[in-house]
Amino acid sequence: MSEIKPTTVSAIDLLKMVEYEISMLRFCLGWLEKHQSNCVGDERKVYLECFLLHYRNLIRFFSGNQHKKGDVSMEHPEAFCGTLSIGQAQWYKDQVQSLDNGDADCEHKLISKLLQHCTEERVVLIGKSWPVSEMYKSIEPALKRFEEDCLNRRSTKFAIGTISNDTVTRSPMRQLGMNSKAPMRDH
In a domain, 128, yes or no: yes
In the predicted model, what is the mean pLDDT of the chain?
Answer: 80
Distance CA 100, CA 65 (A): 8
Q: Say if 100 falls within a structural domain.
A: yes
| Total of domains in the chain | 1
Residue 175 maps to a domain? no
- DSSP alpha helix (H) spans, 97-131: 107-115, 120-126
pLDDT by residue (tens digit) across 84-104? 999 999 999 999 999 999 898
pTM, two decimal places: 0.78
> Which structural domain range is residue 29 located in?
11-165
Q: Which helix or strand (DSSP H or E) is residue 163 part of? A: strand 163-165
Q: Does the residue 78 lie in any domain?
A: yes
* DSSP assignments along 40-97, one per residue: -SHHHHHHHHHHHHHHHHHHHHHH-TT--TT--STTSGGGT-TT--HHHHHHHHHHHG
Radius of gyration (C-alpha) of the chain in whole angstroms: 17
End-to-end CA distance of the chain: 48
Q: What's the rounded Cα separation, in Å, for the pair 102 and 108? A: 8
In a domain, 179, yes or no: no
Q: How confident is the model at residue 159 (pLDDT cuts 50, 70, 90)?
A: low
